[in-house]
Structure 1
Amino acid sequence: MIELAGVTKSFGSNHVLRGVDLVVPKSESMVIIGGSGTGKSVLLKCILGLVTPDSGTITLDGRDVREGDRDAFLARFGMLFQGGALFDSLSIWQNVAFRLMRGPLKRPKSEAREIAIEKLRRVGLAPEVADLFPAELSGGMQKRVGLARAIAAEPEIIFFDEPTTGLDPIMAGVINELIREIVTEMGATAMTITHDMSSVRAIADRVAMIHGGKVRWTGPIAEMDATPDPYVQQFIHGRAEGPIEAVR
């Protein structure tokens, strides 16, 4: 569904992406792993058009992502941001329905609220939460609200940026299970950025590892542990010794 070929991106002398080739099959969950600063977030931003690659091509269903109607293109995506990125001044239901009350997807306020409450229920939050504000919720509840917002408009493609960052192991497990269930139910194509190997094993159909600005290895999750690639083995087992140098 999404294909990147020879994608490069530099910021001054910092060469972040150095020729990324990657194919994300339709209705599958692709998880991108790699150390901090390896370009995982930049890759997502390039796909969304928030950052313009220096070279290479990115296509969605065979069509260049830079072509066509921008609003229609973005309407196909949902996004769960790393920090939740909820609007402090809006109630929870207004956060979830934010997209539904604007642009081409605009719905009547009452309908948008109903959809928001249903999505909150889907992620395990009671209707009473709808009229609270983000500051009144725990970190785990805020992450669920972010997930509800990501799926509110029934997107075809969902991006998850470090979905379990800042959560305790139990809540991280809950979020991982919700993501897996929802992606499967919706038949959505998913891309997740994470360095949490428990998330990788819970969410992924396929895995791609980025290092040195390129995809070092990609394959089904079932083949990840058996790959002889030393970069993958060092990363997934958290070893200090190996080809990946720790930043000290």
Structure 2
Amino acid sequence: MTNHTPKIRLRDVRKAFGRKVVLDGIDLDVAKGESVVVIGGSGTGKSVMLKSVLGLLTPDGGAIEVDGESAIDVSNDVRARINRKFGMLFQGAALFDSLPVWENVTFKILAEKKATRSQARDIAVEKLAQVGLEADVASLYPAELSGGMQKRVGLARAIAADPEIIFFDEPTTGLDPIMADVINNLIVKITRETGASALSITHDMASVRKIADRVAMLYQGKIIWAGPVSEIDNSGNPYVDQFIHGRAEGPIIMTAKA
């Protein structure tokens, strides 16, 4: 890999479910150490794009590369090796209710037998400290945590194995504006401290403005605009302008679903 090889590279990625085309030729790069946020309304294909990169879905066409290596139609061993580079903060934190916090944080490490239980607990306490949680939180269960604390634990789990790339799926969903800003600040802090690349999907513009280096907008299966977050207010794209200001009137037509 050269310094110019993107950590993640998508070219002409296509995915349809029956007659419904969801991704219609996606081109996107995430450079080393860069935070890219993909915006777009509900149902525009953001999650399908993310799942395709993660290997949870197989695109119908196009190329997805991680560090210059194809991530499509690869062996299980290659897929596992690629996935070891990844960390993930899920939309709803997605913690295991039956496990204490420390086991949630180090679930992947324990599953891969990368540490003893004692070592894993120490790792969990260290990662919890990085997201602003005290050591005694390690012994609690998810049901004993507030929504904001659960998100922090989810973030600690995302960085537990020191990933090169972190994915953020709607990281501020369900949080009040103040806690959302706390989580956004933590995301910026963590990515800078670890040097990890980040690929996020969200429709929360406060989050976009805080965590993104570069923004791409997905609409009708295509990236219709991409650029530095500093240019988003002057994109010259009417679809982007309508979306970032949350206007009902404009070229984006929202259809009501039963």
Task: State if a TM-score over 0.5 links the two structures.
Answer: yes
1:3 lines up with 2:15 in the alignment: no
Counterpart of 1:202, as a letter, is K
SS of corresponding position for 2:200: strand
1:82 is matched with which residue?
A: 91
CA distance in 2, matches of 1:222, 1:208: 12
Structure 2 residues not aligned, in runs of 5+: 1-6
Summarize the alignment of residues 84-233 of structure 1 with structure 2, pairs less than 5 Å apart.
84-103=93-112, 106-233=114-241
- The answer as to whether partners of 2:95 and 2:104 remain within 8 angstroms in 1 is yes
CA distance in 2, matches of 1:2, 1:74: 12
SS of corresponding position for 1:23: strand
SS of corresponding position for 2:25: strand
RMSD: 0.9
1:58 lines up with 2:67 in the alignment: no
2:4 is matched with which residue?
A: none
- The answer as to whether partners of 2:66 and 2:82 remain within 8 angstroms in 1 is no
CA distance in 1, matches of 2:81, 2:235: 39
Deviations 1:28-82 (A, max 9, x none): 0000000000000100110111000000001112110133622211110000000
Percent identity between the two aligned chains: 63
Deviations 1:94-115 (A, max 9, x none): 0001011122x62111111000
Structure 1 residues not aligned, in runs of 5+: none
Deviations 1:140-169 (A, max 9, x none): 100000000000000000000000000000
SS of corresponding position for 2:138: helix
CA distance in 2, matches of 1:197, 1:81: 18
- The answer as to whether partners of 2:99 and 2:141 remain within 8 angstroms in 1 is yes
2:48 is matched with which residue?
A: 42
SS of corresponding position for 1:164: coil
CA distance in 2, matches of 1:223, 1:55: 31
Size of the aligned set, in residue pairs, is 247
State the shift of 1:247 in Å.
Answer: 2.1
2:3 is matched with which residue?
A: none
- The answer as to whether partners of 2:104 and 2:157 remain within 8 angstroms in 1 is yes
CA distance in 1, matches of 2:65, 2:79: 14
State the shift of 1:88 in Å.
Answer: 0.4
Provide TM-score, normalisation by structure 1. 0.98
Counterpart of 1:150, as a letter, is A
CA distance in 2, matches of 1:205, 1:247: 31
CA distance in 1, matches of 2:26, 2:138: 41
SS of corresponding position for 2:234: coil
Counterpart of 1:13, as a letter, is R
Moved over 3 A (4+): none
CA distance in 2, matches of 1:39, 1:246: 15
SS of corresponding position for 1:225: helix
1:243 lines up with 2:256 in the alignment: no
